[in-house]
Amino acid sequence: VAFSDKQEALVNGAWEAFKADIPKYSVVFYTSILEKAPAAKNLFSFLANGVDPSNPKLTGHAEKLFGLVRDSAAQLKASGAVVADAALGAVHSQKAVTDAQFLVVKEAFVKTLKEAVGDKWSDELSGAVEVAYDELAAAIKKAY
């Protein structure tokens, strides 16, 4: 998938907006996931006591996922393809993560960035972050 300098810059800008308040946006992210998929609570041990923004595991996992999508955009711009760690594929295949679950996380991810970016949100930005997420998800699933 071809990815332009502009698209990469848009994804980087969204990442910076998320990083400006990771606890706040982590709450938006997990709350959105749990609304659509309450069973996700059982997948992540750090959600056992609810969505607690002072739990470093909770924010750390969110930061890692958002950072990987940003890396995905950089890879797309550099080479037009995303390669995921074998370990990343292994974790998700072991947990038998489904396409439906990838979609729930994607929707929560886009919603969170929309809130973080505020009035700088655009169709072009939405499209760029969606492509970066979808290509990363495809790279993870390749390992199944």
List residues binding ligand HEM (CB under 6 A).
40, 43-44, 61, 64-65, 68, 88, 91-92, 95, 97, 101-102, 105, 133, 136-137, 140
Answer whether 1's CB lies under 8 Å from 130's CB. Answer: no
Q: According to the binding rule CB under 6 A, does residue 140 interact with ligand ISQ?
A: no
The size of the interface with ligand ISQ (CB under 6 A), counted in residues, is 5
In the complex, minimum distance from the CB of residue 119 to ligand HEM, in angstroms, rounded to a whole number = 27
Sole window of 8-16, 59-67, 114-122, 133-141 interacting with ligand ISQ (rule: CB under 6 A): 59-67
Q: According to the binding rule CB under 6 A, does residue 62 interact with ligand ISQ?
A: yes
DSSP structure class, residue 4: -
Answer whether 112's CB lies under 8 Å from 121's CB. Answer: no
- CA atoms of 14 and 73, how far apart (whole Å): 11
User: Is the torsion defined by CA of 128, 131, 137, 139 positive or negative?
Assistant: negative
Q: According to the binding rule CB under 6 A, does residue 33 interact with ligand ISQ?
A: yes
